[in-house]
Amino acid sequence: MNRKELTAACLVLFILVAFYCFAEKKTEISWQKSEGITVQLGVRDKNGELKKYRALFIVRDKNGKEYKLEKDVRGDVWGFVYFPEDFKVYGEPGDYTWKCIVKGKVAASGQFRLTTVKTDCDQATVMRE
């Protein structure tokens, strides 16, 4: 092999090595998962008579501890809050009651149960009155 052929072979080899080193490498995607349960609580002035109001949501756990959250609502749209996320607490398994107070009166109320099943997946049951 003469000098010209050797130079050409080295150049081709250099290009192949550079292409291999800088080529986009495909990697396996690492997935994570997240599961959680949320209970949506809401109140609505169906006819929009108040124009705007402040709704106080109070959730009480099985031990009597209360979690409170205020929500400003306008017109006839739903004012939703989400337990436990919006209340900044961890929802322990058990029975809960809730009520929503607007202008000093109970506008809505209910109860629900948070449970954990054998698969470690949380569940919620809304109990009808």
pLDDT tens across 79-114, in order? 999 999 999 998 888 999 999 999 999 999 999 998
pLDDT tens across 47-88, in order? 989 999 999 999 999 999 999 999 999 999 999 999 999 999
CA–chain centroid gap for 74, Å, is: 24
Domains of the chain, residue spans: 39-127
Q: Which of 55, 129, 127 is nearest to 96 (CA)?
A: 127
* pTM of the shown model: 0.68
Q: What is the C-alpha to C-alpha distance for residues 123 and 114, in angstroms, rounded to an integer?
A: 6
Question: Could you confirm whether domain 39-127 is CATH 2.60.40?
Answer: yes
State the pLDDT at residue 24.
66
